[in-house]
Structure 1
Amino acid sequence: MQISIVIPLLNEQESLIELHDWIAKVMQSNRFLYEVIFIDDGSTDGSWQTITELASKNDNVKGIRFLKNFGKSQALHAGFKSAQGDVVITMDADLQDNPEEIPELYELIKEGGNHVVSGWKKKRYDSIITKNMPSKLFNWAARKTSGVKLHDFNCGLKAFKKDVVKNIEVSGDMHRYIPVLAKNAGFSKITEKVVQHQARKYGTTKFGAERFINGFLDLITIWFVSKFGRQPMHLFGALGVLMFTVGLGFAIYLGVDKLFLNPTGRLITQRPQFYIALTAMIIGTQFFLAGFLGEILVRSRKAGENYKISNRINL
């Protein structure tokens, strides 16, 4: 199979038929062998019923339904696990991503030799204050922190070589950073393509201002995982050595001062340096323990699915 189109969604019933017909038209006009995998992330409207009806009319349509809303990352994980295409394309279900971009994205993977092609919505129809400006700040921070030079990490329209999605684990809220996860897994050929952004036609956005706060927190997490995820002792051990050395230095100073320089002076426990030494040595020991525990967890960790599926269609 040439292309798998993975579409996570939450309460997007109004747009699904139009999106399906648009995708089918593009696929048929380009004679692609394809599958469309809709992942219903706990919708409370009639989205699943619509997906079921589409699948009954088109065998290329497949569906996964979660028991409840587990999040976009978990939906993508489920879609990636089921995808069979040589090229896997992700897009949102709200009609803001244009299916006409699919043939070029496919060619950039198959003929261009890229591992990941990320869409860049250079011209946006979102609010400047609530979305555009925060997005620019977020993307700048993501570029600086991750080293992946993309303008639009949040764009849902992306294309991947099959090997990429089968060898990365998307969890938590890490869907924004799939190109970074791919880079960390060794898939370094990452590029971007300017894509058309369309105004939302139905419903309202599912993302609020809190997504940017969560995005920055996830950015810190992925920076840490990228740098020290396999060997956390390199960070915690270094901090532990530093703190313990500072504490030991103060302790030696207090001991020498009391024994040889000022034996009749104040008791060691009455001097502030004593508490600095004690605190630093305790914190240093705790950092060491955190490093050891992190190493044990890394070596014993088994990846698991943190979502539950209630129904499947054509899968």
Structure 2
Amino acid sequence: MTIQAAIFTDVLAADALELSLVVPIFNEQESVGPLITRIIEAMTNYPSSWELILVDDGSTDATIVNARAYLQQPDSNLKIVALQRNFGQTAAMQAGIDTARGRLIATLDGDLQNDPKDIPMLVEELERRELDLLVGWRKNRQDGLFLRKIPSWIANRLIGKITGVRLHDYGCSLKIYRSSIIKQVKLTGEMHRFIPAWVASVVPSTRIGEMPVTHHARQFGASKYGLSRTFRVILDLLSVMFFMRYKARPGHFFGSLGLGLGALAGVIMTYLFIDKFILGNDIGTRPMLMVGVVLLLSSVQLITTGILAEMIARLYYRDDLTPNYIVRETYQQTD
């Protein structure tokens, strides 16, 4: 190793952080203060360096004002990323992950239902099992049975069946990632619910695990989710299934459908050709002729759609670095 390389390595080691805690928040003015306090208490004896990144997702109450009051508190290691407007939890989480400097990244909700005291234990378990992602499992979930528990149980079973990554609790925001892995995944839409599935597209599913964690009942405010979330999960799951299998080759999806319909149209049109020109029957008023023509046109349309999708996919990969959020301002502790 050259002297310059050694110096560069030493500088990186000096600046490196071990753990970044990312917390998206939206209209949590009552919760944000106790949240920061609990995180500081939970990380007091953490043996390595860490930082806390709060991402304010365009709150319309006093959330960011209350959070900024903790910027000068000793040992809070606090940074606040204020987004220009409400972009959604997924975009806020992506903003926090992009800002994070830690070798490991922990995410948790800002409503005090996740317990920060579980974080050091999760980090230790991730390292012990040599995982790239460790997901919290709210085994004793403190939510309503019909509004949250049952829909969540159904969604977890369905997601595991379709994606092949079987976990008890996809919806738990308390997760620990290796930064080098999660930064290879770009989160869009409302895809934060399917992060383990996206991570499984980067690493083997055997490097994804779960561990029971503490779950508290909501103390302040109201839940941002309702029954409508179940239907959105189903729609998002269809998108996940498509992107996991055909993200880089959408032409295969549309092309396969097009070729299938084209083959069926070919059989029908061949039969009608024989019936017309060999057997001499009139086919002009037969419904089968219309079905064959429609199938043939649909086949051509699907194949051309696949070609266009391939072109769009190439543009997507070229422009994939465009963020899906806008940062208004960043606040952090001053010396």
TM bracket, shorter-chain basis? over 0.9
Cα distance in 2 for residues equivalent to 1:198 and 1:32: 27
Query: Do structure 1's residue 134 and structure 2's residue 151 form an aligned pair?
Result: yes
Contact 2:43 2:117 in 1 (8 A): no
Q: What are structure 2's unaligned runs of at least 5 residues?
A: 1-16
Q: What's the secondary structure of 1:233's corresponding residue?
A: helix
Counterpart of 2:212 (choices 189, 194, 202) is 194
Cα distance in 2 for residues equivalent to 1:84 and 1:215: 31
Contact 1:87 1:109 in 2 (8 A): no
Query: Do structure 1's residue 270 and structure 2's residue 288 form an aligned pair?
Result: no
For residues 108-123 of structure 1, the aligned pairs below 5 Å read 108-123=125-140
How big is each residue's C-alpha offset from its partner over 1:56-95, in whole Å with a ceiling of 9 and x where there is no partner?
Answer: 3246100111121110000010000010111100000111
Counterpart of 2:255 (choices 237, 252, 269) is 237
Contact 1:27 1:33 in 2 (8 A): no
Cα distance in 2 for residues equivalent to 1:33 and 1:125: 32
Q: What's the secondary structure of 1:171's corresponding residue?
A: coil
Equivalent residue, structure 2, for 1:251 = 269
Q: Post-superposition shift, 1:15?
A: 1.2
Equivalent residue, structure 2, for 1:5 = 21
Query: Do structure 1's residue 283 and structure 2's residue 292 form an aligned pair?
Result: no
Equivalent residue, structure 1, for 2:332 = 314
Contact 1:139 1:152 in 2 (8 A): yes
Cα distance in 2 for residues equivalent to 1:186 and 1:290: 30
Contact 1:3 1:87 in 2 (8 A): yes
Query: Do structure 1's residue 40 and structure 2's residue 56 form an aligned pair?
Result: yes
Q: Larger deviation: 35-44 or 226-235?
A: 226-235
> What value does the CA root-mean-square deviation take over the aligned residues?
1.3
The amino acid of 1:285's aligned partner reads: V
Q: Post-superposition shift, 1:293?
A: 0.9
Q: What's the secondary structure of 2:71's corresponding residue?
A: helix
- Identity rate of aligned residues, in percent? 32
Q: What's the secondary structure of 1:87's corresponding residue?
A: strand
Q: Name the count of aligned residue pairs.
A: 312
How big is each residue's C-alpha offset from its partner over 1:123-175, in whole Å with a ceiling of 9 and x where there is no partner?
Answer: 11111011110000000000000110110000010000111221110110000
Q: Larger deviation: 53-62 or 111-120?
A: 53-62
Cα distance in 1 for residues equivalent to 2:144 and 2:197: 27
The amino acid of 1:297's aligned partner reads: I
Equivalent residue, structure 2, for 1:185 = 202
Query: Do structure 1's residue 95 and structure 2's residue 115 form an aligned pair?
Result: no
Q: What's the secondary structure of 2:72's corresponding residue?
A: helix
The amino acid of 1:161's aligned partner reads: R
The amino acid of 2:222's aligned partner reads: T
The amino acid of 1:291's aligned partner reads: G
Cα distance in 2 for residues equivalent to 1:90 and 1:18: 17
The amino acid of 2:285's aligned partner reads: Q
Contact 2:258 2:302 in 1 (8 A): yes
Q: Post-superposition shift, 1:306?
A: 2.0
Equivalent residue, structure 1, for 2:226 = 208
Equivalent residue, structure 1, for 2:10 = none
Equivalent residue, structure 2, for 1:294 = 309
Equivalent residue, structure 2, for 1:143 = 160
Contact 1:250 1:277 in 2 (8 A): yes
Q: Larger deviation: 106-115 or 94-103?
A: 106-115
TM-score (norm 2): 0.90
Equivalent residue, structure 2, for 1:221 = 239
Cα distance in 2 for residues equivalent to 1:31 and 1:92: 23
Cα distance in 1 for residues equivalent to 2:32 and 2:253: 47
Q: What are structure 1's unaligned runs of at least 5 residues?
A: none
Contact 1:115 1:187 in 2 (8 A): no
